[in-house]
Amino acid sequence: MGLEGTWIGRCYIPKKMAYRNVEGPHVIWVHQKKVFDLSYYFKSTSELINTPNYKIYLKEGDPNIKEVCSLPELLENSIHYQKDTSKPFLLAPNDTQAVKACGVTFIQSLLERVIEEKAKGEPQLALQIRDEITSTIGEGLSNVKPGSPHAMKLKEELKKRGIWSQYLEVGIGPDAEVFTKGQPFSSVGFGSEVGVHSESGWNNPEPEVVLVVSNSGQILGATLGNDVNLRDFEGRSALLLGEAKDQNGSCAIGPLFRMFDDSFTLNDVKSSRVALSIEGSDGFRLEDSSDMGEISRSPEDLVAQVLSEHHQYPDGFVLFCGTMFAPTLDRDKKGMGFTHKPNDKVTIAAPKLGKLINWVNYSDKIPQWTFGINAFVNYTLERSKN
């Protein structure tokens, strides 16, 4: 990461090194393993992404672009338990953009959502239901194009058999599930802790490709994300989706945006394999992957369902594309499946997007989210005074 390609992100820079001596989030460009401050040209990554010719400002040797540190130094100081706040550290690369997500975009995860619903959030019931659901409808969904005549015919057949579900509706119906994963500035970045609700006993990471989309709907790049999910909350009621998905630290994005250029295109995104590893302090280890080639809706279709004449995003947005990962491996008791424990190390990786590494803790035990829109406005005003 950082040797070839166009890499954009954000990092915290302390006062002694900061643009106009105002500490806070700075837009950065990573080139040849070196980190450059773009604050002279851009206040936010949203501003950069919505500037059509932004690449003309990415020039090493420009006197207005200051080298901050090396990429290895930045990554090392971003690990939460060894972070030195007198030095730069990574933040999530998104800022004022909307944080959107599409769910149930892979057949494997679709089946797990149906299982959660039927189990009503009880993990001990999932094992039996999983066998029943998979044998009943799993094969029939494998080659279905959402919204197609075949899908609509299958929908009617499943309704007659009494096994239709709201998750099947968004999985094979014409309209994708689109939800808001978090608020602007609420995402955590590489090296940070991610949060799960302390009352959740059945939860998991969701490793995903995250698209970088301009306010005109153009897909300009991608990064990695962890759509942390409380399976028991959502399983009790789909109306708890907001609580299942949006807690303190439940959205991790990073390490950097990789923007499209000659070395990285949308076709690379479509062929990405996102690897996941979970390492527990109890010795537990799980490895799996999610193949974007098996997604049921194209990235272009997902973006078109988010932004249209019906809904605009003036700052642009980042979009989680969904995952095929849904862990069923028992961690403790047989039949109880997987759930997180504090101090789990979660690594999400893709060859052309780098690694997003985070550690799990309870959402009320990790640093509180304090830097929001008002703080950003005040910060921007302070920099404009100098």
| pLDDT (tens digit per residue) in 158-174 | 788 777 888 888 888 99
pLDDT at residue number 90: 99
pLDDT at residue number 212: 99
198 neighbors 232 (Cβ within 8 angstroms): no
What's the CA angle centered on 27, arms 26 and 31, to 5 degrees?
125
CA pair distance 275, 298, nearest whole angstrom: 20
Q: What percent of the chain has pLDDT over 70?
A: 98
Confidence of residue 140 (pLDDT cuts 50, 70, 90): low
Higher pLDDT, 358 or 134: 358
Does position 10 have pLDDT exceeding 80, yes or no? yes
> Could you report the per-residue pLDDT of 16-46, keeping only the tens digit for each?
999 999 999 999 999 999 999 999 999 999 9
Does position 142 have pLDDT exceeding 90, yes or no? no
- Residue 106 neighbours by CB under 8 Å, 6+ apart: 290, 294, 295, 296, 322, 323, 324
Range of 108-122, 282-296, 326-340 with top mean pLDDT: 282-296
pLDDT at residue number 115: 78
CA pair distance 351, 93, nearest whole angstrom: 19
Residue 264 DSSP symbol: B
Cis link prior to 255 (omega < 30° from 0)? yes
pLDDT at residue number 120: 79
pLDDT at residue number 352: 98
What's the CA angle centered on 48, arms 45 and 50, to 5 degrees?
110
Higher pLDDT, 262 or 386: 262
Does position 343 have pLDDT exceeding 70, yes or no? yes
> Residue 191 carries which side chain, given as an amino acid letter?
G
pLDDT at residue number 258: 99
- CB atoms closer than 10 angstroms to residue 241: 17
CA pair distance 168, 141, nearest whole angstrom: 10
Does position 133 have pLDDT exceeding 80, yes or no? no
Q: What percent of the chain has pLDDT over 90?
A: 76
Ranges 156-160, 165-169, 203-207, 378-382: which has the least confidence: 156-160
* 24-to-87, 321, 384 alpha-carbon distances in Å: 11, 30, 14
Classify residue 66 as exposed, middle or buried by CB count within 10 Å of its CB (0-12, 13-18, 19+): middle
CA pair distance 96, 105, nearest whole angstrom: 26
> Could you report the per-residue pLDDT of 43-79, keeping only the tens digit for each?
999 999 999 999 999 999 999 999 999 999 999 999 9
Spell out the domains of the chain, with CATH numbers in brackets: 6-91+375-385 (no CATH), 98-105+177-368 (3.90.850.10), 107-172 (no CATH)
Instruction: Please give the average per-residue pLDDT across 336-345, as a whole number.
Output: 93
pLDDT at residue number 136: 67
Instruction: Please give the average per-residue pLDDT across 210-216, as a whole number.
Output: 99
- Average pLDDT, rounded, for the chain: 93
| Greatest alpha-carbon span in the chain | 69
Confidence of residue 108 (pLDDT cuts 50, 70, 90): confident
CA pair distance 150, 163, nearest whole angstrom: 17
The two structure tokens encoding residue 18: 């900061």
Does position 326 have pLDDT exceeding 80, yes or no? no
